[in-house]
Structure 1
Amino acid sequence: MMPNKKRMNKYIAGALVALAFTACKLPEVAIKNEKQTVPGAYAAGATADTLNSATIKWKQYFKDPYLAAIIDTALVNNQELNITLQEIEVSKNEIRARKGEYLPFVGLQGGAGVDKVSRNTPAGALEHNIEIVPGKENPEPIGDYKIGAYASWEADIWGKLHNAKRAAVSRYLSTVEGKNFMVTNLIAEIADSYYELLALDNQLAIVKQNISIQTNALEIVKLQKEATRVTELAVKRFQAQVLNTQSLQYDIQQKITETENRINYLAGRYPQHVERSQDAFLDIATQDAQTGLPSQLLANRPDIKQAELDLAAAKLDVKSAKARFYPSIGISAGIGYQAFDPKYFIKTPQSLMYSIAGDLMAPLVNRNAIKATYYSANNKQVQAVYNYQKTVLNAYVEVVNQLNKINNLKQSFDYKSKEVDALTQSINISNDLFMSARADYMEVLLTQRDALESRFDLIETKMQQMSAMVNVYRALGGGWN
């Protein structure tokens, strides 16, 4: 018997070695390098400057008190932001769940029941040969009562459960960065809409001013018609221009309403009047943007940090999936009391029961499900690398675009300001020439129309300047801190 037992133990040991060896043979996968370098500057020949507007608090960058009040309200009431905050709590709970997986599971267990076995079984024969109650036949059926504690634990020797927990931590931090990115975009969108609202206010003021000028010109033309200096055609053309400008103001008023409601929606409140600055829009000073070094984007942009954390989580998922190919060790234990009558529970050690067991298991045949999980984890890791590289590239391009936009709009604004000055002067000149019969009414009308369009274009350019100032701050990663 002993040689057979030794031989059996040898076979079992050999089987376990083969099991472990087979489990350790992993399928080949492609690993993508995530290294992403950025240029040393945003423009060729630009000097290195470590000052960065992204480090400025948004209340210092946007100094308008009315705008600051709207942003403060939005950071509390915005529904999308509050939804994201709940997603962060969900991710935090996922960490708790993953952490609990590699700790022992301990619980209490109690039970009661009856058991009737056949007399022709060993248990039945033993049961009826032993007198449970002296002098009497054993009762049928016999009760079975027990209470105790039990525990089970998987020894995480390959780091499968720890890596899953670390991946959950990375995803939790990723949701935090996602919230920061949402805050950055929310502040930028509110500021952009606010400056658009100021621009519309100024356009409406210009329209009303032009209505007054054109109405006066219409009265003059009517007087000249009575003096037979012009015909009814001139009167109708001037009248048509006044009507066209009057209709324009209602288009602007509708845009004002929609822009106000967009701001109210972002602030999480119902439509209402938006308090805003009454200062001249064209006189608002733009905030100078300090871009710093492109490498600072990696630390300042929440979306880049989010993509980096997603990549870290994907790498940990690969390690966790890889560990499923290795043997796993499980340990279970229990201790308590068991008796056919509850009054015997207090008898120790007669009613004491305990157990401990361990098992070793590894996938040997039909590992397709594990392979599929492993391949998917690697594919998602490669996908996360590309997403990280794309996010870095997009951030760099956004900053370069906004910097060039700021510079080009500055030049455009200067030229359009001169155009407005020239056309404003031409209105007076055309009116004087018309009064002295040295110009016809069409020249006056065209001059007034061109002057109105040029002032609208100047306001539009100023609004784009303010928008570029907002967007370069967002592109640099400012606003969330």
Structure 2
Amino acid sequence: MRNNRIPNGLGVVVALTLLNAACTVPRMVSKTENRSVPASYNGSPDSTNSGKMRWQAFFTDPNLTALIDTALANNQELNMTLQEIQISNNEILARKGEYLPFVTVGGGSGVEKVSRYTSQGAADAVTDIKPGKETPDVLPNSYIGAFASWEVDIWHKLRNARKSAVASYLASIEGRNFQVTNLVAEVANSYYELLALDNQLEIIQRNIEILNNALSIIRQEKEAAKVTELAVRRFEAEVYKTQNLQYDIQQRIVETENRINFLVGRFPQHVQRNSRIFGDLAPAKISAGTPAQLLENRPDIRRAERRLEAAKIDVGVARANFYPSLHLSASLGVMAFNPIYLVNTPASLIGSLIGDLVGPVVNRNAITATYKSANARQIQAVYDYERTVLNAYIEVVNQWSSINNLEKSYSTKNNQVQALTQSTGISLRLFTSARADYMEVLLTQRDVLEARMDLIETRMRQMNAMVNIYRALGGGWNR
């Protein structure tokens, strides 16, 4: 009889050839991230970091803390991020299931007509089901069994895919923490802006009252023929101008309130606050610590680090696609052309065990492209990590400088306001004694209004700088 089998030696050579071809992997282009940061911020040796404070301790205004607490519970965008975290967690479960065996149980029945001119049909033609009973042309079939398949994770491709999913999941948690930090800062900044607008509105309303009193004096002076109608009209115009400022501030108050309402996840309503404390507010003393602490405190840096970790693992997963994969499949059950014979074992038993070793040899463009893309994403993740660290350091330096400069600016503007406030009464007395004209009174009133508005604006910027450096140091997410 003719032997059609491949000689064992030739089979081994073919297998080794296929294995060698499958294991040829393109050269990887990798990049290592730079984790070094300056030793300090502008030479400051302080190691205490205000960013480690819980936001409940950092913000002492009860109205503000209530708003932040509500925002953390109701903010829609934050809650959407929580669902993204759940999706990432589900991805871990899916990846874990890929390297475990798949087992299914099932059964079925049907009929089959096999051609007599096939090997199976010819065999059935000469085989009797029972002595004297031929195999029919149309043969029913029923089966019940268990079926299993398993990809043996030789190169840890599937396990590495799960590790990558875990890193992505941890990155999504850090993303949520970073979002919490930004949300806390945004609510606080909007709250301080609202207090500032309330105080500016109060100043404008008081200034309108002062201008109306001055206008009455100007009208009396006109009746006494000491000034002309021009002076009266100029003062009236100044009153209208200041009233117009009032309406602009009122609109900004509405918009700022509704920005806070949006952040806390509710429809427009009055925002509870005590605006009278704004004049007594002073920025909290901030300790920046060391730049190295940013790597631990900033959630966006830790998120970039987790993404970099996942990108590095993905390169290994993509590399494993070039290697042969081993698939095992097995089945065990019973099958018979008549259901009553299913229990007749071992005659009705069926079973199989198959192992396949498969590797890419020709036309590997798809897996090569996937591998190169994974390399590119890994390099991209390195740059993203370095950019995130650099941005964090610059944010701290900028806000630290802003705090120092705004403190000096507030002191100077406060002196300016005091000087202009004194000059207001002086100019009015000089005018009534005919030693100054109406324009000096008008310009003095205008200057003192602008100076007071600027003073409140500077205080608001101070409070915002305090909030922003707290955020830049990584504060706000740790509850």
* Same structural fold, with TM-score higher than 0.5 when normalized by the shorter chain: yes
Structure-2 separation of matches of 1:351 and 1:109: 16
The CA deviation at 1:2 is 11
- 1:236 aligned to which of 233, 237, 244: 233
Q: What does residue 382 of structure 2 align with?
A: 385
- 1:195 aligned to which of 175, 192, 203: 192
- 2:112 aligned to which of 115, 118, 124: 115
Q: What does residue 458 of structure 2 align with?
A: 461
Q: What does residue 414 of structure 2 align with?
A: 417
* Structure 1 pair 416–390 and aligned structure 2 pair: CA distance change class (3 A): same
Q: What does residue 22 of structure 1 align with?
A: 21
Structure-1 separation of matches of 2:117 and 2:412: 109
Q: What does residue 145 of structure 1 align with?
A: 142
4+ residue runs of structure 1 moved beyond 4 angstroms? Answer: 1-5
Once the two structures are superposed, residues 12-39 of structure 1 have per-residue CA deviations (whole angstroms, 9 ceiling, x without a partner) of: 1111212222222211132111122110
- 1:300 aligned to which of 297, 302, 306: 297
Structure-1 separation of matches of 2:174 and 2:225: 75
Matched, 1:315 2:312: yes
The CA deviation at 1:137 is 3.7
One-letter amino acid of the counterpart of residue 204, structure 1? L
Once the two structures are superposed, residues 65-115 of structure 1 have per-residue CA deviations (whole angstroms, 9 ceiling, x without a partner) of: 111111111111111111111111111111111111100010012121112
154-163 or 130-139, which deviates more: 130-139
One-letter amino acid of the counterpart of residue 417, structure 1? N
The CA deviation at 1:122 is 3.7
Once the two structures are superposed, residues 119-146 of structure 1 have per-residue CA deviations (whole angstroms, 9 ceiling, x without a partner) of: 3444333323333244444333121111
Q: What does residue 210 of structure 2 align with?
A: 213
Matched, 1:442 2:439: yes
Structure-1 separation of matches of 2:9 and 2:230: 115
- 1:46 aligned to which of 44, 47, 58: 44
Q: What does residue 258 of structure 1 align with?
A: 255
451-460 or 225-234, which deviates more: 225-234
The CA deviation at 1:243 is 1.5
> Unaligned stretches of 5+ in structure 1?
none
Where 2:402 maps in the other structure, the secondary structure is: helix
The CA deviation at 1:280 is 3.5
Q: What does residue 359 of structure 1 align with?
A: 356
The CA deviation at 1:3 is 10
199-208 or 227-236, which deviates more: 227-236
Q: What does residue 246 of structure 1 align with?
A: 243
121-130 or 301-310, which deviates more: 121-130
One-letter amino acid of the counterpart of residue 166, structure 2? V
The CA deviation at 1:415 is 0.4
Where 1:170 maps in the other structure, the secondary structure is: helix
- 1:83 aligned to which of 80, 91, 97: 80
Matched, 1:277 2:274: yes
Q: What does residue 471 of structure 1 align with?
A: 468
Where 2:352 maps in the other structure, the secondary structure is: strand
Q: What does residue 226 of structure 1 align with?
A: 223
316-325 or 18-27, which deviates more: 18-27
One-letter amino acid of the counterpart of residue 10, structure 1? G
Once the two structures are superposed, residues 272-299 of structure 1 have per-residue CA deviations (whole angstroms, 9 ceiling, x without a partner) of: 1111123241211211111111001011
Structure-2 separation of matches of 1:89 and 1:148: 36
One-letter amino acid of the counterpart of residue 165, structure 2? A
Q: What does residue 71 of structure 2 align with?
A: 74
Contact 2:199 2:275 in 1 (8 A): no
Structure-1 separation of matches of 2:306 and 2:278: 42
Structure-1 separation of matches of 2:276 and 2:7: 94
* Structure 1 pair 245–132 and aligned structure 2 pair: CA distance change class (3 A): same
Contact 2:114 2:137 in 1 (8 A): no
26-35 or 98-107, which deviates more: 26-35
Contact 2:160 2:314 in 1 (8 A): yes
Structure-2 separation of matches of 1:355 and 1:133: 26
One-letter amino acid of the counterpart of residue 404, structure 1? S
Structure-2 separation of matches of 1:138 and 1:29: 62
Structure-2 separation of matches of 1:22 and 1:139: 50
Once the two structures are superposed, residues 379-435 of structure 1 have per-residue CA deviations (whole angstroms, 9 ceiling, x without a partner) of: 000000000000000000000000000000000000000000000000011111111
Matched, 1:398 2:392: no
Q: Matched residue pairs, number?
A: 478
Contact 1:64 1:277 in 2 (8 A): no
Structure-2 separation of matches of 1:425 and 1:121: 114
Q: What does residue 56 of structure 1 align with?
A: 53
310-319 or 111-120, which deviates more: 111-120
Q: What does residue 37 of structure 1 align with?
A: 36
One-letter amino acid of the counterpart of residue 86, structure 2? E
Structure-2 separation of matches of 1:211 and 1:121: 106
Contact 1:79 1:268 in 2 (8 A): yes
Write out aligned runs for 1:336-347 (5 A).
336-347=333-344
Structure-1 separation of matches of 2:28 and 2:102: 35
* Structure 1 pair 235–83 and aligned structure 2 pair: CA distance change class (3 A): same
Question: What is the TM-score when the length of structure 2 is the normalising length?
Answer: 0.97
The CA deviation at 1:218 is 0.8
One-letter amino acid of the counterpart of residue 50, structure 1? S
What percent identity do the matched residue pairs reach? 59
> Unaligned stretches of 5+ in structure 2?
none
- 1:159 aligned to which of 152, 156, 160: 156
The CA deviation at 1:461 is 0.5
Structure-2 separation of matches of 1:137 and 1:10: 45
One-letter amino acid of the counterpart of residue 371, structure 1? T
Q: What does residue 366 of structure 2 align with?
A: 369
The CA deviation at 1:215 is 0.8
